[in-house]
Amino acid sequence: MITYKSVNVQDISVFYREAGPKDAPALLLLHGFPSSSHMFRNLMPLLADRFRVVAPDYPGFGNSGQPDIDQFHYTFDAIAAIMDEFLSVIGLHSFYIYIQDYGAPIGFRLATMNPTRIKGIISQNGNAYEEGLSPAWEPIRKYWQDKSSENGKALLGLLTKSFTKTQYMEGCRCEEAVSPDTWNMDQYFLERPGNAEIQLSLFYDYRTNLERYPEWHAYFRTYQPPALIVWGKNDLFFTVDGALAYSKDLAKCEIHLLNTGHFALEEDAELYATLIKRFHDVTV
């Protein structure tokens, strides 16, 4: 059974889903843009017999609180700090991280804060290498170089319902397998008053993740966390080269390229669950 809870962290309500025994190996599920813990709704029941699975929503996403942009600094550093405190509040001290999209820069910040608590990494299109960024990033790169209102307005198209749907549909094998609840729910939260400004702030701050890549690579080489890379190879934003790059720094790196897109769980949740359980068996 999945339970739905909220805790207060720095005066922000952090919503999370949880399933599985409290004393089981823990798996922290970190969602991407523009989604929430809802993206793990199909995976969690498949893992709850073996893991304590915890999936939070970040501030400004999903069912968590959305402080005004002048009350909370929407950066990846700030969100990672909230997630770090969230883990302390719920008593999660040693765990595997499952990262997707924005979950990667948040998860790797958590890992470098306290490397010994990370038992392993599972990456679903969670990028950590320059070569993993596709040409679709060019409008955002332009915003990094010139944070003008004109360049910001050009990115508002990334927050429309049509583009949210595209992120789910692009590269998938069977469009009929993807529930419209996915993009409709994401869009509901994106259209809350003030959320566009939050997302633009995170688009701009994403440049700091590239600056952190060398630090994360050093963490990989030093601590050698076992890694399972399961990548939708038709992703609009993150290329196959980003998946393969992990093997440069990680000796224990299992890579699978799936014929699907950015939100691979929509088609392949059962395969992910099988691979994760097998990965756990060989890493304990």
d(CA 180, CA 166): 11
d(CA 75, CA 57): 15
262 is a catalytic site residue? yes
The helix, strand and coil proportions of the chain, stated in percent and rounded to the nearest 5, come to: 50, 20, 35
Phi-psi region of 20 (alpha: psi -120 to 50; beta: other; left: phi over 0): left
d(CA 281, CA 196): 42
Tokens of 262: 């950015």
Give me the helices (H) in 130-264, please. Answer: 138-145, 149-154, 161-169, 180-190, 195-205, 207-223, 240-244
Cross-strand partners of 6: 15
Active-site choice (31, 38, 217, 262)? 262
Cis link prior to 34 (omega < 30° from 0)?
yes
Contacts of 160 (CB under 8 A, 6+ apart): none
Q: What does 240-282 look like in DSSP terms, one character per residue?
A: HHHHHGGGGT-SSEEEEEESS-TTTHHHHHHHHHHHHHHHHHH
Which residue, among 13, 18, 100, has the nearest Cα to 63 in the 3D structure?
A: 13
The catalytic residue positions are 262
